[in-house]
Copies of this chain bind each other. A is one copy, B any other.
Amino acid sequence: MGYALDSIDTKILAMLQNNSNRTTKSIAEALGMTTSPVFERIKKLEKEGYIKKYVAVLDNKKIGLKLTVFIGITLQGHTRSYLEKFVKEINNFPEIIECHRVSGNFDYLLKLVVEDIEAYETFIISKLTLLPYLGNVQSLITLSTGKETNEIDLSRI
């Protein structure tokens, strides 16, 4: 795979995962190094794809999107071409932020973020149920969220 991470790399990743606006200077100080090697390591981590991107995490509720819903879906047919079409359609719905093909009691698990229950119902009626080959659809409405992050614990790798 071309490149192995050492403990300095994982520490850098851990810090940038937690706050990507942290300066290389501050990271370097935390590691007892100077800025140049830290800078070079970060660039390498970006180039090699360990760091995919840098993003601002917004407060969905404050923006007016107060409801997160998970939807488990089974399809009636499983032909390859249809599965691909399904995923493609799904990607056009701006409400959907995750779409996983899963094994277990569903074929797909979706995660979506909408304004409220009403917007959710509109989505179901005027978008989701229009898709063909749809089998069972089961919604899990989020009541509260104890934890929701992208941050991976890197102490275990």
Contacts and interface: CB of A to CB of B under 8 A. Distances in A.
Interface in A1-54: 1, 5, 13, 16-21, 48-54
Contact of A146 (B53, B101, B139, B143): B101
Given A140-B103, A141-B104, A87 B55 contact: no
Given A64-B157, A140-B105, A18 B55 contact: yes
Interface in A101-149: 101-106, 109, 113, 138-149
B63 A146 contact: no
B100 A68 contact: yes
Interface of A: 1, 5, 13, 16-21, 48-60, 62-65, 68, 70, 72, 87, 90-91, 94-106, 109, 113, 138-157
